[in-house]
Amino acid sequence: MFRRFFVVIFLSMALCLFGGLGLSLLLGVVPPKDVLMENRNSNVLDLAQQALATGGPESLQAIKHLAAGMSPPVQISTSPVAVCSPSPPSDERDVPLEGGCTRISVQHQAISWLVRITPLLFPAAGALIMGLLAAFLLARYFQKPLEILREGLNAFAGGDFEYRIGTTIGRRGDELSDLGRAFDGMGDRLQELRDTVRRLFHDVSHELRSPLARLQATAGVLRQNPSRLSDMLPRVELEIRKLDGLVAEILMLARLEVYDVSELEMQRLDIVDLIQAIALDANFEGQRRGVTCVCEGEDSVVAKVNGELLYRALENIVRNAIRHSADNTVVVVHTRIIPGPELLVSICDHGPGVPANELERIFAPFFKGSNERGVASTVGRAGLGLAIARRAAEAHGGKILARCGNPDGLTVELRIPILS
């Protein structure tokens, strides 16, 4: 890579240099050495002719002395001729004198090809040296970050997601430093995803182990006392339902991870009607403890949504609110349209709440809170309720967030774009 950068940059600069010089010579902007010497000789002959014609042999002798001191020297010679030629050669001058004519000429010197290009050698050599240095520096400038990037990719391929290159590349303030920052951002994201997957595997195995352990205990009891089958059968069915629900939610979460809003099957639904149906079921669930759910705000909001996903998201939030609210309290579901346009759904409960530093983390799968609600109570029976709600909102192009209630409890806000 370095050699290729170096050769390409150097050849490009050299071609530009010699192309410019060649064009200058072709157009006569920079004359070669022989042209310069011919012009000088012609000027010396004109000066000698004028000196001889006006000042005589003494003036011509002074011009000869001056010409001999030039670098390189110009040798002027004179010879008598009978008649002055009306058109002498370019390197001779005829001067009429009394009783005859005198011919002035200069001695020609052989000019080698090296002398001819001497005016171009030094600037060309200087330009080539500078081009060589510039090509080396540019090639090195691009090669070093690429080598660092290659080392980082090799580290990622080996599973080292903690490798970072931003500080190694340095703060150049150009696209290469932006590439280093983007690489480090990718590393942070990959490390986060790896940790999430590890934590998810651990939590899923833990959640699956509990009902399986209870089923194994039930099987052991039945093995010792088969007559208790009728008593233990409801317990077995309950654990099987829990396992089935957990597997269903894990599959739903996996599907939502790869969902794109352009791939969802959308239907035009009245979201307020959907919320009221969920509230009706929630009231039935909370009637034993005197917890009710009321809907406030918009009477009707029709939008294109995926009914199954949106129902699952809203149901998880509302059921959590009913489950954790204190006895004989009211869970309020408020809807209003905000600029975007978006539908803002706020679900407010009267439970123990969530610490402020955990408001964002409760949407992670199987997050274990620091208060008494814990993971299963905070995010659903399998610890996936709010995680599914967040994925469903994001699949619709919306978002979800939680904040502490006023004066108590927890408020969960779900924003869904209203697509026509």
Residue 132 CB contacts under 8 Å (≥ 6 apart), including other chains: 10
pLDDT mean over 360-366: 77
Q: When comparing pLDDT for 376 and 263, which is higher?
A: 263
Q: When comparing pLDDT for 165 and 331, which is higher?
A: 331
In the predicted structure, residue 294 carries a pLDDT above the cut 80: yes
Looking at the DSSP assignment, which residues form a beta bridge with residue 102?
80, 95
* CA pair distance 305, 415, nearest whole angstrom: 12
* CA pair distance 409, 325, nearest whole angstrom: 8
Amino acid 171: pLDDT: 61
**Structural domains in the chain?**
33-114 (no CATH), 161-258 (1.10.287), 261-417 (3.30.565.10)
Amino acid 330: pLDDT: 92
* Contact yes or no for 394/404 (Cβ under 8 A): no
Give pLDDT tens digits for 146-158.
888 888 888 888 8
Whether residue 365 has a cis bond before it, omega within 30° of 0: no
DSSP 326: P
Q: Which residue has the tokens 């990719």?
A: 153
* Contact yes or no for 350/325 (Cβ under 8 A): yes
* Contact yes or no for 69/8 (Cβ under 8 A): no
**Whole-prediction pTM value?**
0.51
pLDDT mean over 132-159: 79
Which segment of 89-93, 158-162, 337-341, 354-358 scores lowest on mean pLDDT?
89-93
Q: When comparing pLDDT for 18 and 301, which is higher?
A: 301
Amino acid 2: pLDDT: 56
Cβ-based burial of 70 (10 A; exposed 0-12, middle 13-18, buried ≥19): exposed
Tokens representing residue 8 in the block? 């390409």
Residue 67 CB contacts under 8 Å (≥ 6 apart), including other chains: 44, 48, 73, 74, 75, 76, 106
Mean pLDDT of the chain: 77
Looking at the DSSP assignment, which residues form a beta bridge with residue 335?
297, 345
* CA pair distance 53, 143, nearest whole angstrom: 72
Amino acid 373: pLDDT: 41
Nearest to 386 by CA among 369, 367, 403, 372: 367
Give pLDDT tens digits for 303-317.
888 888 888 889 888
pLDDT mean over 276-302: 90
Give pLDDT tens digits for 13-47.
777 766 666 665 565 545 555 566 777 778 888 88
In the predicted structure, residue 255 carries a pLDDT above the cut 80: no
In the predicted structure, residue 173 carries a pLDDT above the cut 70: no
Q: When comparing pLDDT for 386 and 89, which is higher?
A: 386
